């Protein structure tokens, strides 16, 4: 999502009063060290705390409306329950971001269903040095998820929209960004949820089949 194209919503593009000032992370060079990623992860917040600190009341209500409508199927729950490798996931996001509203609640549902997923959210502007490493096509778009091994080696990143969301935006000449005021349709939400789950599964398989981690765990 491009924050330079705010939508018309009353709180779209408006940051909550509790937002932190940018801080520096030691080792956040090119590329960041594992210690720098871990330090950023430690500064990030769980889902509810992120919204409490960075969202307005209206913004939190929009996130909750989507969260209430995300339903994981039994096969999806079984898949998440099969994950065995600890998988920290850092999501650079904005409570004001319509694309975050329509996607991030699904990620929280994944984490709630899978103890192996450790999910944290980082406001885009809190750690600009770290967020800058997760640009999409040169832009600081959100949401972008960074997936790590248990020792904070970066495995993959993914964002800011899934393929189906980009296709929908292209059909609508989607130069602007979503506001989050109108929740996504049920079928669109289910498709986006499935596309995100594919990314989580892919990273879990990378971790599970890693020779380095298999030697570490003896499996």
Q: Domains of the chain: which residue ranges?
A: 34-217
Cβ neighbours for 148, distance < 8 A, ≥ 6 positions apart: 37, 41, 87, 88, 89, 90, 154, 155
Query: Above 50 in pLDDT, residue 10?
Result: no
Q: Per-residue pLDDT tens for 164-185?
A: 999 998 988 655 556 556 668 9
Q: 213 or 2: which carries more pLDDT confidence? A: 213
Query: Above 70 in pLDDT, residue 15?
Result: no
Sign of the dihedral through C-alpha 27, 28, 31, 34: positive
Q: What is the predicted pLDDT for the residue at 79?
A: 98
Predicted TM-score (pTM) of the model is: 0.84
Query: Above 90 in pLDDT, residue 102?
Result: yes
Percentage of residues of the chain with pLDDT beyond 90: 78
Query: Above 80 in pLDDT, residue 82?
Result: yes
Q: What is the predicted pLDDT for the residue at 184?
A: 81
Q: What is the predicted pLDDT for the residue at 31?
A: 85
Q: What is the mean pLDDT of residues 196-210?
A: 98
> Which CATH superfamily, name and number, covers 34-217?
Glutaredoxin (3.40.30.10)
The three-state DSSP-derived secondary structure of 92-159 is EECCCCHHHHCCHHHHHHHHHHCCCEEEEEEECCCCHHHHHHHCECCECCCCEEEEECCCCCEEEEEE
Q: How confident is the model at residue 131 (pLDDT cuts 50, 70, 90)?
A: very high
- Over its C-alpha atoms, the chain yields an Rg (Å, rounded) of 17
Q: What is the predicted pLDDT for the residue at 24?
A: 73
Q: What is the predicted pLDDT for the residue at 54?
A: 98
């Amino acid at each position: 999502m491009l924050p330079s194209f705010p939508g018309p919503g009353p709180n779209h593009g408006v940051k909550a009063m509790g937002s932190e000032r940018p801080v520096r992370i030691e080792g956040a060079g090119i590329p960041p060290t594992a210690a720098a990623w871990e330090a950023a992860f430690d500064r990030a917040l769980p889902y509810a705390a992120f919204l409490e600190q960075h969202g307005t009341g209206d913004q939190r209500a929009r996130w909750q409306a989507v969260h209430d409508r995300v339903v994981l199927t039994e096969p999806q729950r079984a898949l998440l329950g099969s994950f065995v490798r600890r998988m920290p996931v850092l999501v650079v996001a904005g409570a004001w971001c319509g694309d975050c509203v329509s996607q991030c609640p699904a990620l929280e549902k994944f984490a709630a269903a899978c103890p192996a997923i450790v999910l944290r959210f980082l406001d885009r502007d809190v750690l600009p040095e770290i967020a800058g490493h997760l640009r999409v096509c040169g832009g600081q778009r959100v949401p972008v998820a960074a997936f790590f091994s248990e020792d904070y080696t970066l495995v993959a990143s993914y964002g800011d929209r899934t393929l189906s969301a980009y296709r929908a935006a292209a059909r609508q000449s989607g130069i602007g960004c979503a506001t989050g005021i109108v929740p996504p349709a049920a079928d669109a939400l289910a498709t986006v949820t499935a596309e995100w789950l594919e990314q989580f599964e892919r990273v879990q398989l990378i971790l599970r089949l890693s020779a380095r981690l298999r030697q570490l765990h003896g499996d």
